[in-house]
A and B are shown apart, each in its own frame.
Chain A
Amino acid sequence: MAHSPVPSSEDRRTIVCLYCDKAQEVSRRAMQITCKYCYKSLRVEDVLIKAYEARRVIDTCGMVVVEKRGHVVADRIRCSGLIVRGKVKAHVDSKGAVLVGPEADLIGDVTAPSLAVGAGAVLNGFYRINSPVETSSTTNPSI
C-alpha cells in the first residue's frame, strides 16, 4: 500500500507544543512527533481512559477523555483539553477547555483557559481559569 509522503491539508491538524507553546501542523494520524522548534518528543494522540489507571504523568498534545467508569490517579496531566466523566485525581494543566461532566470528580489543581462544570460534579483544588490573553493578575488597585 502506497502512502503519499506529504499529507493533504484535510489530513492535518494544528497542535501546540507542551513545552515551547508554539503551534505546528501535524498529520491527524500521527501519534508521536518531535517539536520542530524545541525538538522535544511530543505525544499527539488522544488519550481515552475507560478504567482505573494510576500513572505518574499523562502528557499529550491531544485530548484526555476519562469515561464514566474511568478513574485516573496521576501526579500531572498535561493536555490540549480534558473531559472528565469519571474520576480524576491529578494536577491538570490544560491548553484547552476542561469539561467536568455531571457526577464526575476532579480532585487536584487545575490550570486551563476555560472550565465547564456539570450539575453534581465534585471539584476540589486550586483553580486558575484564565483566557490566554489575560495576565495572571486580576486585582484592581481601586478596591
Chain B
Amino acid sequence: MTALLSVKELTISFPVGGVSLLPRRRRVIQAVQDVSFDIAPGETLALVGESGCGKTTAGRATAGLYKAPKGTVSFRGQDIFNLPRASRKPVRRAIQMVFQDPFSSLDPRMTVFEILSEPLKINRMGSAREIRERVQDLIGQVGLPADSLNRYPHEFSGGQRQRIAIARALAPEPELIVADEPLSALDVSVQSQVLNLLGALKRERGLSYLFISHDLAAVHHIADRVAVMYLGRLVEIAGRDALFANPRHPYTQGLLAAVPRIGQGRRKRTLIAGDLPSPLAVPSGCAFHPRCPLAQEICRRERPELKTHSDVAHLTACHFAERKEAA
C-alpha cells in the first residue's frame, strides 16, 4: 500500500502571550507533537479528540496551511512544505478543505457561481464555457437546486451552505479532502444528509478524507481508520472496528463510554475524572496519567511510545496496553 498522504513526526507550536522582549521567557504551546499517520488512496482517516487536543491544527497543517512546521507532510511522496514552485499549485489543488462553520467559510459577497468557479479559474481548469458547465455539474452532485448559481450564501440554510462548501472543495478535483468538524454546525436531520453525501463522493470518486470530529457516532459511520489525540499527541490509532470493539488506551475507552446512546436510559456513567490539563503545562510522562484510572508510578515518569502490540495495525501509547487486553 503506497500512502496518498504521509505525515511524519509533525510538531507544531505556537508562542503565546504576545511578543516578549526577552525571547527565552516566551511561552510556547505545543499544539501537535510528534504525530505520524498515513492515508491510503480512497481511505478515510478520522482524527478524534476533545477540544484543544490539536486535531484541528494537525488537519490544517495537512492541508498546508502552516509554513514549515517540524516534521514532514508528504503527498504522493512530495514534501508539501518544500515544494518546487512548479508543483505547488497541483499539490494544493489535490488537497482541499471543508470547514466547520458554513456561515463563516463562504464569502457573503460572492454568488454561488463565483464561489465555485474561483478554484477552477485559479487552477486554469478550462474555458469560461467549460467552467460554467463544470459548476452546473457540481451543483447537481451535491444536491443543490439548479437555480442556486446566482444566489448568495445567506439565501441558503446551514445544510445547503455546507453543500456549497463541499462543492467548492470538490471543484478542483482533489484527491484528499480535509474536513474539519463538517457536521457540528448542522441540525440532526441535516447531518445525515451531509454524511451520506460524503460517503457517496468517496465511493464514486475514490476520494480520501481526513475527517476531524469529536462526534464518535459520525466517525464510526464514515471512517475506515481512527486516530485518537490527547493533548497534542496520538494515543491510539487503529481500524474502525478494532478501535470501537476493542479500545486499548484508557482515554479511548473513557471517550467511548462517555458517548450518549439511545436506549440505555438513565445509567451510571463511567467517567473520566477531571478536565483536560492546560496545554501550557502538559503533565510529565504519559499526559493522561492525572485522569487515568490505571495510572502507576511509571506513567508519571515515562512517556509511553505509540507502538503496535498483538495487532500490527493497532497502535497504542500506553504502558498497560497489553494488560488490558488480557483482562
Whether chains A and B associate is: no
